[in-house]
Structures are given as C-alpha cells and as structure tokens.
Structure 1
C-alpha cells in the first residue's frame, strides 16, 4: 500500500475512533435520541472499517459475531434490538479503551513517570514486593496495561545488575508477580477498569459509587495474599558480590501519580455529585481532558526547543497511537457484542432445558462467579466476553434476595482472578514475555497457589458481603 494511502487510512481510523468516543460521551451525558440512535451505527461502521486492517485471528471474532446474529435472526426473536444493544455495548467499550489510551499515551513519555517506576524497581529486597504491588496499583490507574509494560521493563533492567543467575531468576519471578498482582488487584474497584465499567453496566442498580468500598476489600485480600505468600515462601539465598545499588530519590517521586489519581477521582466524584451521571461515564470525559492538559504542560516549551509541539502530539495520537490499537479495539468490541448476542441465544436454551437459576441459593451463584470466569479464561474466553455472556443469565438481585452490588463484587472478583491466571490475557502474556516463560506457566505454575488461596478467601468474602 502506498505511503499516502497508509496515512489516509490511519487518519480515517483515528478520526473514526475519536468520533465513536465523542458520541458515547454525549450518550452518557444524556444526549438526545439522535445521538443515542447513532451509537450502534457508528460502532458498526467502525468495525467495517477496522476488520480488513486486523489479523485473521481478530477477523474470526467478527465472523463469529455475524454468525451469531444470523442465528438469532432465525430464532425469530427481536434480533435487531439485541444487535443494537450489542453494538451500543461495543461502542462503549471502544470509547472507554480510547479514553484510557489518551492518558497512557501522555504518561508513557513523561520523565516523572519513568523516574517513579525506576525508583520502585530499585527497592531493596525487604520491601521490593510490597513497593511494586503498591506501585503497580498506582501505575495501573494511569497506564492501564501499560503499567505492566513500563514496570516490567524497568524491573528487567534492574535484574541485569545481579551477577548470580540463580538470584536473578528468583528476583525476576518475585518482581514480575508483584507487578502483575498489584495491577489485577485494582480491577475490582478502579473506575478506570473494564471490570467495573462493564459489570456495573450489566447489573441494574449499581455504579462505581456502590462497588468501590467492597471492591477495595477484594483488592486488599488479593494484594495481601500475594504479599503473604511471597513472604512465607521466599527462597533463602545468600547474595554474591558487593552492596546493592540504592534507589535514587525518595517516595516523593510517586507524587505525580498521586496527583493524577486525586485529579481524576476528585473530578469524577465532583461531577457525579453535580450531575448524577454515573462515574464510569464521567471518566470518559475527565480522562481525555486530563490527558490534553498534561500534553499542554509537556509541550509548552517544546516548540522553541525544537521538540514536538502540542499540535504535533495531538496529530501523532490520532495518526499513530489510535490506529496502533486497532487489534485490541476489534477484540474488545467483538467480545462485548458476542457476549450480548450469545446470552440472548443461550437464555431460551437454558429455559427449554429446565435450568432455572432462580432456584439456586445466592451464595452458590456468588461462588460460581468467582470460579466460572477464570475457568472460561483457561478456555480462551476474554473476561469481557465471559462476563457479558454470564451476567444476563444470573437472576435479578430481587429474585435472589440480595443487593445488586453483591453480584458485581462476585463477578469482578472472578474477573481479577482471570487476569492473574488466564494464559490468554494481556497481563500473563506481558509477564511471560519479560520472564521468558510461557503465559500458561505464569498463570498455572507461578500463580497456582495464589489462585487457590485467593479464590477461597474471595469466595468467603463475596458470600459474607452478599448475605450482609
């Protein structure tokens, strides 16, 4: 393809992604009927544009979505309404991903973020695990999956200073697991996580405000279990060579992350109190605004210094950064769509087969959520696909006699465990690539006992919360 044609395609792709994001923001901000009607149409147009550009593996997901839609139409149900709902969900997922990508794009090039990550990676052995777990949580709020990429790279670089190969291997495992577990423990409570955004959208009567406190308990159990297992089973080895290099700087290097966290969370909560719009929807606007403001700060002296100015950075984001995530966008959008359509197909089959989940005790359903989502992850199902398929099959909270929030807490706990164990998720793939082991080894060997212990604790927790 000629260079001019590639640039044109990249420009159209970036513009289309921005258009979908703006439309979803307007829908969340209670736009009119025309805005809402345009949401599924824009999502479908975007998928038509992206499908020829992505790998065959992603195109298979598109074909599965088409096949399920045809099957739904032949069932004689209101397939058009279900398809529109699936496309609307796909549009929201796309917008949420692009909003997070805008902040990640700015943060990855910020020297302050690099310095903070380097400080965490150079911590002494006694506090390295807890530092990387805590730091992984803070970085995840800003960089999403980019947190694993950044901290993993810095941790790998620091490991290169170790002379003893046995100690280097042990350090690699402990540091990378701390980063991964820190990241996954943010999934049940962070307003910037797909787990919270998708699950609260699927369970009526829930929002980030209702799930944040129990989600933090889930996060504490996950992070605390990881630290405890690392402490108990830490190998006892005697390091060779001279004294270790001390980290440069102090914990104040993490202050930019704290400022961003306060800025995003504070703005979102403040707007929620003023407007009543759900926090996840507000994040769609707040995060890009923060990203643009941060870009302005980074580039205010760039033009006269010969660096990239503000307009050049924005153009680069639209022409390079956004088109560069088309593979992930198609996968996530189709996961949401396939889960929605697949659930509509599966519900009548379960009813016809006499499977009535309303007769199952609520504690059993909660425990099943903790385990079914990770099991689906072992079979290659993206958590978005598994959850959008599973949650509509669960009886309503009123039927179960529980709070809707209890359902979200159980599902997000299972989602977080999936991110730590599934060989098909970005977290295990990234950790495996840094450690030079397979993602399956990371999920099923490194995290085996972590999953066993944490899943038991989380099962007890979700049942207690559901009953209370």
Structure 2
C-alpha cells in the first residue's frame, strides 16, 4: 500500500485539530486535567493557521491585533507566561463553545422537521404573520443560529412570488419587506432570550457571580419589550386597503412547528440538566449537552436510511466531512475567541480601582453607566466592530459594577440590549449581509430606510427601561 503524501496527512491533521481542541478543553474544564491544556492550545493554533486564507478581514484584523498585543506583553511584561497562557485558554473555551453550537446547526440544516416548520411559519395569514414569524425566528435562532436567516429567507422568496401577489409587484414587495423585517427583529430577540446564545456565554464567563436565573427575570421582559414594539411598528406600517382582491392561500398547520418547539425545549432542558447534575455553569454545560444532542439528532436522521441506530452513520458523516463541518465556524471562532483573547490580555493591565474612581468623579455611574455601555457597543457596531469585541473589552476592563453604583444584572441587560440593537442597525453584520443578498437591496437601505425609525424608537425605549431598572435594582442586592 502506497503511503499518503505528507501534505495530505498534514491537511487531515488540520481537519481534526478543532475536535481535538474541544476534547482537550473539556478535559481541562470538567476533568481538571492540566496536562490537556497545551494540546488544546496547540490544536487551536493549528486550526487558525489552516483556516487563515478563508477568514474575513475583520477576523484577520482581530487575530493580528491579538498577536501584536501578545508579542508586546511577552517583551515588556515582567511575568508574561501566566497572562498569555490564560488568554489562550479563554480562546480555547470560546472556540469550543462556538463549535458546540455549530454541531447543532449542522444537524438542524439536515432535518426535514426544520424545513416543514419553516414553511408553516412563512405561509401564515398577514394578520398573524408578524408575531408567528418573529417568535419562530427567535426560537429557531436558539438552535440554528444565523442559519435561520438563510433558511427562512429562501422560503419567503419562494412563497412570495408575483403570482401569489396577484401579479402586483408592490404587493409582493410590501409582503417581502414586512416578512424580512419580522425575521430580522425576531432574530434580534436571541441575545435577549436564549440561554444558549454566544451573548450569554460572553456575559456569564466574564461575570461569574451571575447565573442565567439571575439575568432571566430582566432579560425576558426586555425581549418582550422589543417584540411588542416590533409588532406595533408592523401594524402601523401595514399597507392601506387598496380594493384589490388578492386571494390568500390557506394557512398551513403549525403542527410541525409545535414538534420543533418540543425539540428545542428538550435540548434546552438537557443543557440545564447537565448543569444541575454536574454542578457546573451554563456555558460549560453547553459544551457537553449541545454536541451530544446534535449527535443524537444526526443519528436519528441517519436511522431512516435503512435501519440500525444511526450512530455509525452519524459518526461516519462527521469523520468524512470534518473539514467542512468544523471549518464553517472559522469566522465566529476567530471573532469570538479573538475578542476573548484580547479581553484576557487587556483586563490585567487596567487599574480597575483607578478607573472606578474616574467614572464616579465624572458622574458616569449608576443607570447612566449602563445606558452609556449600551450606546457605546451599538455605536462601535456602526463602524464594523462586532459587539463580541466591544462587550468583551467593556466587561474585561470595567471594575466591579457595584463600585459605580450599578447592579451587575443591569449591566448585563445593557450589553444584551446593545447586541440586539447592533443586529437591528449595523450595516456590517453578517445578519445584514444575508438579508441584503436575499432582497437585492443594500445593507444601508435595510438598516435605515426600512428599519431606521424602529431602531431609534427601540433605542430610546431600552434606555428608559435600563434607567428604570437601575433605579429599582440597587447594587446591594447583587448576587455573590
């Protein structure tokens, strides 16, 4: 048997570098196995090097910035080794988190249930289309993440044909705008409501005194506020009756969506169950429960192909397509992991006590600090800086919120709100790029012409909401 060329073997090793990083990171976090730290770090470096040519400009810039800062610390810091090692460990954690969610997305995009549920949502009657489509997008976003936009967007384009609009282009365009905005605003609910979101992982990993149950009583009403405003705007911007009789197809049954709700609930309960049984934090539980749930889901899909448990076929699928499956997350890994890496390097260099004194002296404390944090993250998103970066850096350098008269939950709600506002307004997000490709309109047209008034009103409403929360919730009641 002829030996494989060296280049082929190296590429195969690179294909499995991310799974190795995930396994070793879990061994460190769950099994307290320090010997696995360096294999995880080296596997991550191999993965990033292998994916470098396919990275976006933002991802490359972020990685190069982190590398330059790491080099500066290595040269100038008195004890650089512990700081750099901790930063690499943070990178490994976020890479593992993104990959765990990415495995769920792979299983979901191959599921017939997902397609049937999506078709049921986008073909509802106009009177209930917005709430069903917005809530459905938010729920799908928990499992499918950003893939829900491509899935629902394609279904919307297919169902909203010129023939379905009675041959009237303006009716077709109006329907498309309303459904796309419902989808966009629904997806913006994910950082406010999902316990499995990247937003929650960033906040909980940087604010370890908080848990999901501390944040949920504030985050869920915040999501309800955004949802209610979106529904109101959709109703106010509905087209006036024209007298044109355009027959509406009968709305399909929501039974497939009901089955998906049960599936999403089962996966979420599995995450909470792993956290409770293992006595671990929610972000760590995601690392365990989501890959297991995704593999079980894939196995059930493979089982339909001819008997058996489907486990072998699912394992073969992951093995054969490792390069595509794990390479698909490269931008998210670079951006999220890179921002965590930067935050871990910057935070120890900041005199947090001095910073707290400066904030108090400037008058920027209490609810005003929360609103400012939200506006800063949202403003940076307008020039292309991902909220992952700005929120991570704010959490890394900001002192204990209690020292500036701010409850930690209010700060968490402010950053989650900023994440949602950035999705609604930034022309540079992946969300807007997907919608632009689906509609054929520029990202600026979608953000400001279609959604600008809603964004501005929502910003004002969330600012007032944060001020009210800051006045009601005092730092003395902070958890931990």
* Partner-residue secondary structure (3-state), 1:188: helix
What is the number of residues matched between the two proteins?
Answer: 462
* Partner-residue secondary structure (3-state), 1:94: helix
Alpha-carbon distance between aligned partners in 2 of 1:239 and 1:120, rounded to the nearest angstrom:
26
Alpha-carbon offset, residue 48 of structure 1: 3.2
- 1:191/1:208 contact within 8 Å kept: yes
Structure 1 residues 178-217: aligned runs within 5 Å: 178-217=182-221
Alpha-carbon offset, residue 422 of structure 1: 1.3
Alpha-carbon offset, residue 392 of structure 1: 2.1
The equivalent position to 1:292 in structure 2, one of 271, 291, 295, is 295
1:34/1:463 CA distance change after superposition, 3 Å: farther
1:369/1:92 CA distance change after superposition, 3 Å: same
Which residue does 1:251 correspond to in 2?
Answer: 254
Structure 1 residues 101-112: aligned runs within 5 Å: 101-112=102-113
- 1:191/1:283 contact within 8 Å kept: no
1:115/1:372 CA distance change after superposition, 3 Å: same
1:325/1:283 CA distance change after superposition, 3 Å: closer
1:170/1:462 CA distance change after superposition, 3 Å: same
Which residue does 2:377 correspond to in 1?
Answer: 373
1:447/1:338 CA distance change after superposition, 3 Å: farther
Which residue does 1:447 correspond to in 2?
Answer: 451
Alpha-carbon offset, residue 7 of structure 1: 6.7
With normalisation by structure 2, the TM-score equals 0.88
1:240/1:321 CA distance change after superposition, 3 Å: farther
Alpha-carbon offset, residue 337 of structure 1: 2.2
Alpha-carbon distance between aligned partners in 2 of 1:109 and 1:128, rounded to the nearest angstrom:
25
Which residue does 1:66 correspond to in 2?
Answer: 67
Alpha-carbon offset, residue 182 of structure 1: 0.8
Alpha-carbon offset, residue 221 of structure 1: 0.9
- 1:357/1:395 contact within 8 Å kept: no
Alpha-carbon distance between aligned partners in 1 of 2:73 and 2:444, rounded to the nearest angstrom:
35
Alpha-carbon offset, residue 465 of structure 1: 2.5
1:182/1:303 CA distance change after superposition, 3 Å: same
1:105/1:383 CA distance change after superposition, 3 Å: same
Which residue does 2:93 correspond to in 1?
Answer: 92
* Partner-residue secondary structure (3-state), 1:83: helix
Structure 1 residues 368-407: aligned runs within 5 Å: 368-407=372-411
* Partner-residue secondary structure (3-state), 1:152: helix
Name stretches of at least 5 consecutive residues in structure 1 with no aligned partner.
Answer: none
Alpha-carbon offset, residue 212 of structure 1: 2.1
Alpha-carbon offset, residue 229 of structure 1: 1.1
Matched, 1:330 2:334: yes
1:154/1:60 CA distance change after superposition, 3 Å: same
Structure 1 residues 132-171: aligned runs within 5 Å: 132-160=133-161, 161-162=164-165, 163-171=167-175
Q: Write out per-residue CA displacement over residues 61-87 of structure 1, whole angstroms, 9 at most, x where no aligned residue.
A: 322222222333455364433333332
* Partner-residue secondary structure (3-state), 2:191: coil
The equivalent position to 1:412 in structure 2, one of 409, 416, 434, is 416
Question: What RMSD, in angstroms, separates the aligned Cα atoms of the two structures?
Answer: 2.8
Name stretches of at least 5 consecutive residues in structure 2 with no aligned partner.
Answer: 474-480
